Amino acid sequence: MKAYIFLTLSIISEVFGTTMLKISEGFTIFFPSMGVILGYGLSFYFLGLTLKTLPLSLAYAIWAGVGTALTAMISVILWGEVLGVLKVMGILFIIGGVVVLNTTENNETAREPSN
């Protein structure tokens, strides 16, 4: 359970860092630029803690997928980007892929013979 808390913190930090990247306007504004460094630094720190417990394939898929979906939602809310049918389908495919990876990992672990 602790790994999923670390993963959640990692995702939130990554989305924060990505949002600050947009606001920093190519690292020309100081405080948002520092937000990028802080956000990504915390994100990788928490992702590293997550990887002590969760498999890389699962953790990274959740991190990238959820981060992408949240970033897309923030871009719609803050910058008025259009969320068309294709973007929604893409986000749903990402979420579906994460679910498949999670389910596959659990089923393959359960089927492995014990020595």
| pLDDT tens string 30-55 | 999 999 999 999 999 999 999 999 99
Domain ranges of the chain: 2-111
* Number of residues that make up the chain: 115
Q: What 8-state DSSP symbol labels residue 114?
A: P
How far apart CA 1 and CA 75 sit, in angstroms, is: 30
- pLDDT tens per residue across span 45-98: 999 999 999 999 889 989 998 998 899 999 999 999 998 999 889 888 988 888
Tokens encoding 96? 């579906």
Amino acid at 52: K
Q: What is the pLDDT of residue 91?
A: 87
Stretch among 4-13, 80-89, 99-108 having the lowest mean pLDDT: 99-108
How far apart CA 78 and CA 55 sit, in angstroms, is: 34
